[in-house]
Structure formats: structure tokens, C-alpha cells
Amino acid sequence: MQLTVTGKQIDTGGAVRRYVETSLGSILGKYFKTAIEAHVVFSKEAHLSRVEVSVHIGRGIVVNAGAAAAEPFAAFDTAAERIAKQMRRYKRRLRDHHAKAREFSESDERARDYVLAPFAEEAEEDGGGGPAVVAEMSTNLPNLTVGEAVMRMDLADAPVLLFRNRSHGELNLVYRRTDGNIGWIDPELDPARRTRHRET
């Protein structure tokens, strides 16, 4: 596994890197041995140390966790425990997903991903155009079941995930609701259209 440890206003010398490597190695060895890469970022946030951990464990599957504490090691331990908890929760499904990925090759459909600037009040009053595009990237649009989409969103600690529903080929969306539940949007489709997709 390729490991990157960086610090923003915090020294991440050899001792920190060894500690991170040993801890993540233990967690990944227990739950998912084939991790590709991990990024750990330590930063200062007022009087607290903040840690963001991102582990790429398989094709399109990223596990993210963050934590803050008075000491950098304590913050990392909390974030690492969250990573372990997420992997423990999805251990069986991750292995099943890994096996299915070999069985059915997922489509690598690409989509454009834009970052927009906040909409300024002045522009709204002037009747100006929409918000300015700050960044434009290319992203994968995964072909998943609803359960796999929820798992990926949860592991990535993301608020929303857009995907192509494997059962009928149309775009779907899962998202975190404010009440703690998961929302799923599946557009109403023409039944004949779904039948045509299944036949192809």
C-alpha cells in the first residue's frame, strides 16, 4: 500500500509516519488486505489537532474518516477507529463486491464534475448569469446496486452519491437525510424502457 502522510502546521516526522503505517497496516490486514493507497493529513485547528484519513481499498471504493483532539496521535487513533468500524460493518459486503467486480466488469462511464462559486446576491439582483465555475473535473459514474451505492457513500462519508442503477441502467441518487436515514431517488420510468434495457 502506498502511504502519504502530510502535515499542515504540524510536524509529521518519522515517528508519526511509523505510527500511522503500523496502525493502518493492522486495520487493513484484519479487514481488507488489498488496499491500494492511503492519505493521512494532520492539521492544526485552533487549539486542536485535526486528522483526515482516506484509504482507497478497491476499485472505486474509498473509506474516509476524520477526527479532532488535543494531541495529533489521539486524533489519529479516533479517525483510525472510525475506519476500522466502517470496514467491520461492511466486511462481508466488501468481499462480495470485490468478487463481483471480477465477475462483472463495471462500466467506466465518465461524467463531468463541476465546482461552482457561491451565488452572489448582487448577481441575483442584476439578473446576471449563474454562478461561476471554479473547477471542472472528470469523474467515474459507477454502475451499482442500491445497496452497493449506500455502502460506498457511507464508507466515503459522503453526503450524496450519483450512480447508474445496475438493475435497470438509469441514473439514481442516494443521499443522507437530516433525520439520519438514507434517501434514494429513482426516477419514474416508462416500463417499456426498463424492459428494453433488460433485454440488451
pTM of structure: 0.69
CB atoms near residue 8 (< 10 Å):
11
* Residues 92/93/99/104 CA torsion (nearest 10 deg): 170
Q: Estimate to the nearest angstrom the gap between the alpha carbon of 38 and the chain centroid.
A: 13
Mean residue pLDDT of the chain comes to 82
100-103: long-range contacts (C-beta < 8 A, 24 or more apart)? 101/58, 101/59
**CA dist., res. 32 & res. 96, Å (int):** 12
Contact 63, 32 (CB under 8 A): no
Q: What is the pLDDT along the chain (200 residues), one digit of tens a residue?
A: 889 999 988 888 888 889 999 999 899 888 777 778 999 999 998 889 999 999 998 777 889 999 999 999 999 999 999 999 988 888 877 766 555 554 444 556 888 888 888 866 555 555 566 778 878 888 888 999 999 999 999 999 999 999 999 888 889 999 999 999 999 999 866 666 555 555 55
**Half-sphere exposure (Cβ direction) of 62: Cα atoms closer than 13 Å:** 14
Regarding beta strands 61-69 and 110-116, do their DSSP bridges make them parallel or antiparallel, or are they unpaired? unpaired
Q: What domains sit in the chain, N to C, each tagged with a CATH number?
A: 2-103 (3.30.160.100), 113-138 (no CATH), 142-200 (3.30.505.50)
pLDDT of residue 102: 47
pLDDT digits (tens, 9 = 90+) for 144-187: 999 999 999 999 999 999 999 988 888 999 999 999 999 999 98
